[in-house]
Amino acid sequence: MTVHSIEMHRGHYPLEAFENGSDMTEALNAAAAAATSDAKAALAGVMTSDVAQAALIQNMGREALQVMMIGRPLAGSWATPVPAHIAAMPTEQQAFMAWKMSGTAPHVAMEIAEIKDAPTALRTEFAAWIEEAYRPSVVGGLALTGGAEGLEAIAVFSDASRRTAIAIYLNCSQPTAPVVAGCLVQSYEWMEARIMLDTPDLTGLRDLIRGSGSQNAGLSNGEEQRVVYGASEVVFSASKETVFRVV
């Protein structure tokens, strides 16, 4: 298997999102959307096979995601390394404090305790820093490639506190077949026990997702799916570049 690195393309942060003291959350959401666009562009270089499928995991949650298990593909092969870590989306105040601690914030920022009290000019400067600090890190990209046999594989992630686990499923049975994407969200303990009893290619998890054998699973043939477990939610629609939005 040829391993390709995914490198994020640099771009310009939408500074207009900070005008008139608008909500910083909107700007952080815009950064994540820009990161997804960057990741799609970076994945384009590996999407060259007749059968190829990619997933973009957009972490809008407050905890980082880390890889828990990379399933051996049932068909095809991983075209890119599965990301080991996907950073969490910070709160507005967390991002502001990180900026002040980074050594790059101006002196006037040190005199302001909360970002909501910052003047427009400072918020604009803060926006430029957010692009550098968070745009490349809140989206992880992975891709599969195959031949006439198609492709099928699962990768499992957990949150940093090991409370929740997310299984990501990709499938395209043959070059002319539509792509399928699925997801299962469960507790970390449940997923860990399931993985220990499963095969290296995680066929047990695959069957749960495909057969709707779990109330916390969803399968998409193109329509939007929402999988909810506790406070975690994953939204996605199957496509050649499926975006799994974790909130």
Domain boundaries along the sequence of the chain: 16-45+90-136, 50-85+138-247
Angle at 202 between CA 197 and CA 208, to 5 degrees: 90
Does the pLDDT of residue 106 top 70, yes or no? Answer: yes
Query: Which of 15-24, 68-77, 111-120, 158-167 shows the lowest mean pLDDT across its residues?
Result: 15-24
Cα-flanking dihedrals φ and ψ of residue 170, to 5°? -125, 140
Q: How far apart are CA 165 and CA 105, in angstroms?
A: 36
pLDDT band with cut points at 50, 70 and 90 for residue 24: low
Beta bridge partners of 156: 69, 167
pLDDT band with cut points at 50, 70 and 90 for residue 13: very low
Does the pLDDT of residue 14 top 60, yes or no? Answer: no
Query: Global pTM?
Result: 0.80
* CB-neighbour burial class of residue 119 (10 A; exposed 0-12, middle 13-18, buried 19+): exposed
Domain 50-85+138-247 CATH (choose: 1.10.8.100, 3.30.1490.20, 2.60.270.20, 3.30.465.10): 2.60.270.20
Tokens of 6: 């995914």
